[in-house]
Chains A and B, each alone.
Chain A
Amino acid sequence: MTTPDTQAATPVVEMRGITITFPGVKALDGVDLRLFPGEVHSLMGENGAGKSTLIKALTGVYQIDGGTMTVDGVEHRFSGPDEAQNAGISTVYQEVNLCANLSVAENVMLGHEPRTGPFISWRKMRRQAAENLARLHVDIDPASRLSAHSIAVQQLCAIARATVRDAKVLILDEPTSSLQKAEVDELFQVIRELRDAGVAILFVSHFLDQVYEISDRLTILRNGRLVGEHLAAELPRRDLIGLMIGREGAALDAIERGAQQAFAGEREGVTPTIEAVGLGRHGRIEPFDLAVQPGEIVGLAGLLGSGRTEAVRLLCGADRPEEGTLRLGGEDIRISDPLVGLRNGIAFSSEDRKREGIIGDLTVRENIALAVQTVRGVWRPVPRKELDELVDRYITALDIRPANPNQLVKNLSGGNQQKVLLARWLATAPKLLILDEPTRGIDIGAKTDIQKLVAELAADGMSVVFISSEFEEVLRVSHRIDVLRDRRIVESLTNGPDVDQDTILEAIATKEVA
Chain B
Amino acid sequence: MSGPTVELTPDTPSSPPPAQPAAQPRPSVARRIMQHQLFWPVVALIALIILCGIKNPTFLTIELRDGNLFGQLVDIARMSATPLLLALGMALVIATGGIDLSVGAVMAISLAVSLTYLDGAANPGSVSTAAVAVLLGVAVALAAGLFNGFMVSVLGVQPFIATMILMVAGRGVAMLITQGQITTVTSAPFKFLGSGFVFGIPTPVIIALIMLVAVAILVRRTALGMLLESIGINREASRLAGVQSRNITWLVYIVCALLAGLAGIVYGAPTMAADANNIGLMKEMDAIMCVVLGGTALSGGKFYLSGTVVGALILSTIERAVVIFHIPSQITPLFKALVIIVVCVAQSPKLRELLRDGAAKLRPRALPEVAS
Contacts and interface: CB of A to CB of B under 8 A. Distances in A.
Given A7-B4, A228-B8, A17 B234 contact: no
Contacts of B18: 222-223, 245-247
B329 interface: no
Contact of A359 (B4, B238, B366): B238
Interface residues of A, number: 67
B240 A373 contact: no
10 contacts: A6-B4, A25-B21, A26-B25, A225-B14, A227-B13, A231-B4, A246-B18, A370-B226, A373-B227, A374-B243
Interface in B226-268: 226-227, 229-230, 233-234, 236-244, 248
Contacts of A324: none
Contact of A234 (B5, B6, B302): B5
B226 A227 contact: no
Interface string B290-329: 0000000000011000000000000000000000000000
Given A342-B242, A378-B222, A223 B234 contact: no
A53 to B, nearest CB: 12
User: Which residue among B20, B22, B366 has the maximum number of chain A CB atoms within 10 Å of its CB?
Assistant: B22
A218 B67 CA distance: 79
A257 interface: no
Contacts of B243: 339, 370, 374
B13 A24 contact: no
Contacts of A65: 360
B24 A246 contact: no
A73 interface: no
A14 to B, nearest CB: 9
Nearest to A219: B6
Interface stretch (A166-174, A350-358, A468-476, A492-500): A350-358
Interface in A369-390: 370-371, 373-382
B155 to A, nearest CB: 18
Contacts of B36: none
B17 interface: yes
B302 A361 contact: yes
Contact of A21 (B3, B25, B240, B357): B25
Contact of A24 (B24, B224, B238): B24
Contacts of B65: none
The majority secondary structure among interface residues of chain B is loop
A227 B3 contact: no
Contacts of B240: 318, 338, 348, 350, 356-357
A249 interface: no
Given A245-B18, A338-B241, A373-B226, A227 B8 contact: yes
A362 B234 CA distance: 10
Contacts of B229: 359, 361-362
Contacts of B5: 217, 229-231, 234
A447 interface: no
Nearest to A48: B21
A224 B234 contact: no
Contact of B16 (A32, A34, A225, A338): A225
A327 B297 CA distance: 44
B369 interface: yes
A305 interface: no
B245 to A, nearest CB: 10
Given A228-B6, A230-B5, 10 more contacts: A24-B25, A222-B18, A231-B4, A231-B5, A246-B16, A341-B242, A359-B241, A360-B233, A361-B302, A379-B222
B27 interface: yes
Interface in A96-118: none
User: Which residue among A234, A339, A382 has the maximum number of chain B CB atoms within 10 Å of its CB?
Assistant: A339
A30 interface: yes
B223 interface: yes
A378 B22 contact: no
A355 B236 contact: yes
Interface string B266-299: 0000000000000000000000000000000000
Contacts of A6: 4
Interface string B190-230: 00000000000000000000000000000001111011011
A227 B227 contact: no
A379 B223 CA distance: 6
A358 B237 contact: yes
A180 interface: no
Contacts of B224: 378-379
A412 interface: no
A51 interface: no
Contacts of A21: 25
A83 interface: no
Interface in A220-266: 222-231, 234, 243, 245-247
A81 interface: no
Nearest to B356: A63
B66 interface: no
Contact of B227 (A223, A245, A374): A374
A22 to B, nearest CB: 9
B7 interface: yes
B6 A32 contact: yes
B353 interface: yes
A24 B27 CA distance: 7
A402 interface: yes
B348 to A, nearest CB: 16
B24 A371 contact: no
Contacts of A366: 226, 230
Nearest to B20: A223
Contact of A222 (B14, B226, B369): B14
Interface in A193-207: none
